[in-house]
Structures are given as C-alpha cells and as structure tokens.
Amino acid sequence: MRNNQGNSIGISTLESVPSKKFTAKKLRLFAKPYLYLLPTFLLLWIWMYYPLFSTFSLAFQKWGMVPGTVPSPVGFENFVRLLTSKDFGVSILNTVFYTVGIIPFSIIIPLILAVATHNMEGKMKNVYRTMFFIPLILAPVSDGAIWRWMFHPTNGLVNTVLLDLGIINTNIAFFSDPLFAKWLILFITGWKMMGFGTILFSAALTGISKDYYEAISLDGASRFQQFKDLTLPLLSPMILLILMMSLLFSSQWTFAYIDMLTRGGPFGTSTNIYYEMYKYGFANMDVGLSAAAALMFFVVFGIIAFVFNLFSKKYAFYDN
Amino acid sequence: MAKYLKNLIVFTVVLLLLSACGIGSVQDANASEGEATTTLPELDPENPTKITFYSYSLAYPTMKEGMKKLINDFNETVGKEKGVVVEGVADPNFQQYRADIVAGKEVDIVQNVFPMLDASRLSLGFQAYEDVFPEDELEEHLQGISENARQLGVIDGKMYGLAFTFSTPIVFINGSIFEEAGLDPNDPPETWAEVKEYAVQIKEETGKDGFALEPDNGWVTDGVFFSNGAQILSEDRSEAMFASEEGIEAVEIWKDIYQSGAHAVGSTTEVPEQFLAGNLGMYITSTALHSGMKAAAEAGGWELYGGPLPQFGDQPSVPVNSGSALTVRPDTDEKRAATWEFIKYVTGAEGYTTITQEIGYLPLRTELADQEEYLKPFVEENPLYKINLEQLEEIQPTTIWPGENAAETSAIFTDAIVEAITTDADVADTLNNAQEEINGLLK
C-alpha cells in the first residue's frame, strides 16, 4: 500500500501537505451522496426541467421546428395571438366543460360501484370489478374505433336502433353535430375512466377496519348513516386525490377521443386546450404558439394544484 | 508504461472509428456536389444500388397494393437489368420523411404534395431536377406530360418536383340505387339543380340518401367556388376573397341540397364508408378512390357509374386537382443514376398504366388512354376515366394557402364552410367573418 502511494506522484505530493489531504477527503465525503443522486438529477433534468425551461423560452420565440433554422424572438406576440384567436377561447371553455363533466364519472359513479361491490360475497365481486376495469386497459385507439362504428351516421348501431324505435326520423351524424360531439367525447372518456376510480375506491374501502362498522351498527346506525358518517369521512383522502387527478388530467384523457372522433370539430366546437396545443405545434408547425398555450396552461393548473393541496390538508381525514 | 500504451491504443482505435463514420461521409457528400451533372455513371447490375422511396400511397388501403405493384414491377424489370433496388416506405402523414432526414437516414425520393414543395426545397435538401439529372435526358422524358403539370413543381425557374399522381373530383354513382329510384345511371346529373332533384327522388323512392359532398372535404369545395365564377384567393395570393357574391351563392345552393334531407350527413371519414356499403346514391370525391369503390361495388353486387363535376346553370364547371410530385435528394452519383431510372419508369408509360389501373389516379401522359398496349382497354372498360380525362382541359389547381399560417387559414376556411352548410348560420355572415379573420392572418 505504502509502496504504491510512493509510486504515484499525485498522492505523494498530497502527503507532504496534510491540510490539503484533509480537504480532499472531506470533499469526497461531501460529494459521495450527490454522486449517487446524480443519475436521478440527470434524468429529471432531461425529462422534466429541460423541456420545461425550453417551453418557457420557446413561448417568446417563433420557430417552425425545421432542422437547421433558428428560433427568432418575438416578445409577447404569441400570447397576443392566442388571446385574440377564436378557437382558443372555445378551447378554454371546453376544457372547463370536460373537467367538470368528468367528475361524476371519476368520483360519484365509481364510489357507488365500489361500495356496492364491496359487500358482495364470492366470485361475482371480481367479475363485476373486472367489467368496470376493462375499458381502462383497452387502447384508446381501439375504443375510439368501436365508438365510431356504433355512432356511424348510416351503418352504426345507435342510429339503426333509434330509427327502428321511431325516436328519430333521419340519421344523425353524432360526431359532426355540435349538439352531440362534445357530450359524446365526455361520455366516452367517462366510460373509459370509470374503472380507475372504482379500483382505487375499492382498495381504500378494504383498508377501513371492520370493527368500526360493528361498533357503529351496535349504536343503531342505518346503512345510509354508516356510509355518510363512517365510509365517506374515511374515504375523504382518496376522494380528494381522485378529484385532483381528474381536474388535472381530464383534458389529457379526452385528447385521444377528440383526435380520433371529431378532430376538434365540427368547426372547433369540441376541441380542448391540449388538442389546440397539439394542433399549433404539430399540425401548424408553430412551436412558439404551442409553448405559449402550454405556459398559460401550466400557470393556471399549477394554481389549481396548489390550492387543492391546501384544501386537501384541511379537509382530508386520515385514520391513523 | 504498459498501461499508457494500452490507453494510447484504445484512444487511436476510437479516433479511427470516429473518423471512419464522420469525416469519411463528409468527404463523400462533398465529392458528389461539385461534379458536372451532364452524365450519369454506369450502374452495376451485379452490385445494385439501393434507394428509398417514401410514399403516402403505400399507407392507404385503397392504394397500397397498386403502389407496391409499381415498385415491385420496377425492381423486377428495369431495376434488375440496370442494378437498382427500390425500397418503399409508407409515410401516411408526410412526417416520416422529415423525421428520417433529421435523423440522418437515407431518404432519396419522396412522394410529396405541392404545398410542401417550397419548404422541402429550402430546409430538407431536396434538389432541382436540372441540377442532378442530364438536361437532354430530362427534356426527352418530359415529352408527353402537359406543360401545366410540369409547371406545378417549378420554383424560381427550376423543377423541384415532377408532377406524379393526379386526381380530380368525380361523381361516383351507385347504379342499382339509381335504377331503383327510376333514374338512368348512364345519364348523371349535369347541374347542381339536377343533383338536388335526383337526390330527393332517390330519398323518396328508396329511403336511402341521394347525394353527398362532405362540407369538410377540403379540396372539392374549391371547385364548387370556381365553377360559380368565385375566387378563393386574389391573383397574387395576398388576400382571401371567397365571401364574394358568387361564392356566397355557390355555398347557398350547396346548403340547400344539404338541408333537403336527401344529403348524407357525416364527415370525410364516415361518408365514404356509407357509399362503400351501398347506402348512398351519388358521392363526389377523388378519382383516387376508384379502385376501392370498384371492389366494393363488385362485393356488394352493384354497378359503379360516374359523372363529371356538376355545373351552375349554363356555366361550365371547373374541376380542381389534388396531387403529388416526386422530389429527390440523391447524395452520390450512383444514387443519381438509380433515382433517375426509377423516376423514368414510374412517370413513363408502364408506370402510369399501373398507377391508373391499380390505384386510380389519372395518367399524366394522356395519350396513353388511346394506346391499345397501355390504357385503351382499361378506359373502355371503365368509361368513368373518359370523364376525368376530358375534365383535365378545364382543370385548376386547388388553393395553396400562402405563408406560415397556411394550416391555420385553411382550417378557418373549412370550419366556415362546415358551419355555413350544416347549421342555420347565415351563409354571408359566416363567410365574411372567416374571410376577415384569414385576411388578418395574411397581413
């Protein structure tokens, strides 16, 4: 060991100055944990922060993404264009529509389904839960194709049945009709996401101790009172979590169906902010405008998430 | 010491490898640039040159088989003889070739669309035909292709794209529905007024929808405007002017048919399915769908007929064309030669015979339709093509929306047409608003 050090020029010089050696060792100790963290930081930078910062800078530039060209700065022009564009206002209103509209499908129906299947005995419980879960694992593209066939203006099942029953007398092009397009997108997304909430609520229900129910029923509480005074408060952290997720992600969940079934149409009536961002960026090749929309989206939804966190700390009840 | 030596060896090997793939290829590229293009090198059939062909037709079910056959036919005849192997790459949305060029893959020939031509030339390294192929051979090959078609791909006096596949609108007719309604499929409607009359008669007699031209079709709309004497853009393409009196009138006539109850409803993805299923009397769409329609008619047991784009009153109708051009970016002399062989084949007599028979596009060499060994038997068997070949005389190109906001402006235009036709919205107001918005973007 000593012999080796003698051969190495670097360490033998260090040895002659003890204080320096001390700092080097200290530095190594100090750096070690950060070295372990480095890969994580690197990945976080590549996948999260670098794109985030590029979005910030691209929002103030004009660029067509063509290789070899350089983005040119345009100040706030992208934001001005966004706010004066006809479709952007509609897309914001629709985003709100989809966000609020998804809540029954992500919370209310799943809660009922989870509670209803929770007390079931035997195999049927799993059969039902599988049924609710299947839409979630199907690929959105195949879901979209199935719904498109069902609602086809002439060859579709829905039109045929409605005509046969005499409810309508001419075919309806559901996805080309501003009256139906938006609602169908919401319904299909809701149908798809219902299983998600159901599974999470079912898991949360299993976590509630049976003793509480025994105690409360000894006190003479009815089934509804048990649900209201025991189940609901104990599920509140999960309800708030799913509520936050559906508020933040509903626009993402609707994206695939907008793209497949209506392409934002007819005349832009079923689009949402995500789809507009995609259109600006990848159809119009205008990354600046897309980044500006993303930035506004980021700020607004950041505020929603922040407020929600405060809210959930205040209202969620944890059974420790 | 041994350790240093080892490091040195590793370092040298890495350096060599890097230079082999990096610097070497730069030199290759430089070598091909400076040389004169008057001659092309001999190709070696023993050692064939491989080139790639990016085609959207390879991605569409109704066109795929025909395009595959075209490529295979070339590889097995001229390709084998001269030493060229063409590999087809399906590119449904014109994204793949861009992505692959950026990623450094070899993209040699692209079936491009005209609106993208200028952008392709400026940023993706596509070259002018005059710069890569011998001028006398080029001139000789272009004989027989009309001057109009040639000019479509010319920018700044040079040809950056050679017109390749061409389509025009046609009224496809379901013969059995016509007969069931007491109409003669050999006597298609000539005017828009007749279209409405026939459509209503079909609806009353058969219960099936009589007619369809989807409001969101995107390109036939231009022909409807032009046929009524309306313009979409001004001559210098600096201003939209579709909300003119003639334009509004054309849309109102279309709206009247749409709202008559005999017009099929739905979007461009849904209506063709309705026609293919045999539930629609008349449908205006591209000739490129011909092979698919014919197959559906055979499978469904009905006859396919056709007619030209209807006219307004006694004004002759003005059909529009959509189409593609071949753009090239060969980076070696061998590839120049190989690319030229392929282009000569696919835009030659054999190529257009396959394209028209198997895919449905029009032959840009119109004289082939009169030649017994090429398309004469086919056109006689499919008289629909006579209609389109006659239409070629009146044809105008579809609108190329100018500038950077092209995608946005064309979307505003299409949205306005859909809203004006399918809802109760006032046609004049809707078109005027859209025109104002577009002109705001064009400034």
ipTM: 0.73
Distances in Å between the alpha carbon of A154 and those of A160, A295, B218, B267? 8, 42, 22, 12
* Integer CA distances (angstroms), A318 to A196, A206, A237, B242, in order: 22, 15, 7, 64
Contact B409, B237 (CB under 8 A): no
**Cα(B288)–Cα(B301) distance, integer angstroms:** 21
Q: Which residues of A touch B267 (CB under 8 A)?
A: 173, 175-176, 265
Cα–Cα dist B38/A310, whole Å? 75
Question: Which residues on chain A place their C-beta less than 8 Å from a C-beta of chain B?
Answer: 64, 66-69, 86, 148, 152-155, 170-173, 175-178, 265-268, 283-286
Tokens of B135: 């001028």
Q: How many CA atoms lie within 13 A of B142 on its CB side?
A: 20
Tell if the CB–CB gap between A86 and B437 is shorter than 8 Å.
yes
- Mutation pick from A80, A160, A267, A290 vs chain B, by most beta carbons of B within 10 Å, is A267
Q: What is the pLDDT of residues B325-358, one digit of tens each?
A: 899 999 889 999 999 999 999 999 999 999 988 8
What's the mean pLDDT in B49-57? Answer: 93
pLDDT of residue B21: 42
Task: Report whether pLDDT(B23) > 60.
Answer: no
Query: How far apart, in whole angstroms, are the C-alpha atoms of residue B62 and residue B29?
Result: 38
Distance CA B222, CA B216 (A): 12
3-state secondary structure of B66: helix
Q: What is the pLDDT of residue B358?
A: 86
In angstroms, the CA B25 to CA A77 distance is 42
Q: How far away is chain A from the Cα of B253, in angstroms, using its nearest Cα? A: 20
d(CA B78, CA B70): 12
What are the chain A neighbours of B101 within 8 Å (beta carbons)?
67
pLDDT score, position B71: 95
- Chain A residue numbers with beta carbons less than 8 Å from the beta carbon of B216 are 176, 265-266
Put simply, the answer to whether A284 touches B209 (Cβ < 8 Å) is no
pLDDT of residue A17: 52
- Kindly report which listed range (A16-30, A155-169, B315-329, B372-386) carries the lowest average pLDDT score: A16-30
What is the chain B residue with the closest CA to A172? B265
Select from B266, B249, B281 the least CA-distant residue to B176: B281
Place of tokens 């059969």: A127
Q: Is A15 helix (H, G, I), strand (E, B) or coil?
A: helix
With tokens 């017994």, the residue in question is B372
Q: Which residue on chain A is closest to B94 by alpha carbon?
A: A283
Choose, out of A66, A83, A176, A275, the residue to mutate when testing the contact with B (most B CBs < 10 Å). Answer: A176
| Closest by Cβ to B422, choosing from A153, A171, A176 | A176
pLDDT in tens, A19-50: 556 688 888 888 888 999 999 999 999 999 99
- Taking the C-alpha atoms of residue B426 and residue B420, their distance in angstroms, rounded to an integer, is 7
Q: Does residue A266 have a cis peptide bond before it, meaning omega lies within 30 degrees of 0? A: yes
Q: CB–CB of B405 and A284 under 8 A? A: yes
CA B145 to chain CA centroid, nearest Å: 16
Per-residue model confidence (pLDDT) at position B26: 37
